[in-house]
Amino acid sequence: MMKLHYFPTGVFIIFPATFITTFSIAILLGHVEVDFPYISDTGTTPPESCIFSQLLTVGTVLLGITVYVRYRQILEYHPNHSSSSTIIRLNHASLWLGIIAAFGVSIVSNFQETSVFVVHMIGAFLAFGVGTAYIWLQTVLSYKMHPVVNTLFMAHFRTALSLITTVFFFISSICGTLARLQFHGKNMRKWYPEDGGFQLHVASTASEWVMASAFNVFILTFVREFQKISMNHPELCLFEDQSALVQASYHTVSAEQYKVPGEMDYGSIITHGDTTHWMLVTQMPPEPIEILVMEILQSSNLFTNSEAKPEEMPQLSRCHSMPLFCCEPVI
């Protein structure tokens, strides 16, 4: 079983680590000024742009997984603890908003503002604007799911983070637009007081840093709740070449065969790789012989006698069925 709380923890670590790393490199190399550049300004010039893109891409994957796990957590909560259809609708909406926000982060990381400004700004709006909508829906769901999933304090805390994110999103957007209209310098990544609109620029950039920090802390609040849930690895169905499967089966068949009462005739325990199977061999008149290879879902040591009762057989699921024209029955 996977430890799901590692995903929001990873998001909380990798995003600030990325911003701090690229900010430090950009300052040391003189690519930006120390007075609150935009987060994106610290990731537009090599080598920091390479680090910015790579780490944010990894963070995007972790964020998308976190959004999906949260969706599944609420989906499992609903049938057992609530009859409200509102939770289902909000949960589906939040899933899509969260995925879109994660996609926006990916756009921001891979389309630098100095290269494709319009695409970069679309990504920024998806990341922060749609991301803000996502955390508001999660806040509403937190109130609807307490005290089973989270505490009332956590719901209040998420409300505060959502308010901070919303307020600073509008401050950053409005001040940033006004600052650009007043700018008459040469390089926006090195914005000096004499370039015009400097105070509005600093208000916009500082708001972006606060907004990003609040969003990161919000994702971190999922950690404790994810510690209470688990998810099994997905089941895979392996489709193998029939001749290869038969060869592997006959080469690894055990020496003992067991008579099983009922419609089935004879069977053998076989091992293929790391998986134990129960191979049933039946005579299909007049020909050919059909071998059914079935995977044992529950471990069992029942096949130690010459005969086994039907009710004592382990749970089986059919995995392969194929006719054989050149094999002798195992009896």
pLDDT in tens, 300-314: 433 333 344 444 444
Dihedral angle computed from the Cα positions of residues 70, 74, 76 and 79, in that order, rounded to the nearest 10 degrees = -170
- C-alpha to C-alpha distance for 40 and 22, rounded to whole angstroms: 9
Residues 6+ apart with CB under 8 A from 89: none
Report the pLDDT value the prediction gives residue 267, as an integer from 0 to 100.
Answer: 47
Q: Does pTM surpass 0.85? A: no
Confidence of residue 1 (pLDDT cuts 50, 70, 90): low
Angle between helices 131-145 and 198-220 (to 10 degrees): 40
Going by C-alpha positions, the residue among 76, 45, 8, 62 that lies closest to residue 222 is 8
pLDDT of 322 > 50? The answer is: no
What percent of the chain is predicted at pLDDT more than 70? Answer: 71
Report the pLDDT value the prediction gives residue 21, as an integer from 0 to 100.
Answer: 94
Report the pLDDT value the prediction gives residue 240, as an integer from 0 to 100.
Answer: 55
pLDDT digits (tens, 9 = 90+) for 228-286: 888 777 777 776 555 444 444 443 333 334 344 444 444 444 444 454 444 444 444 44
What percent of the chain is predicted at pLDDT more than 90? Answer: 50
Omega of the bond leading into 193 within 30 degrees of 0 (cis) = no
Q: Is 273 left (phi over 0), alpha (psi -120 to 50) or beta?
A: left
Long-range CB contacts for residues 150-156, cutoff 8 Å, separation at least 24: 150/225, 154/221
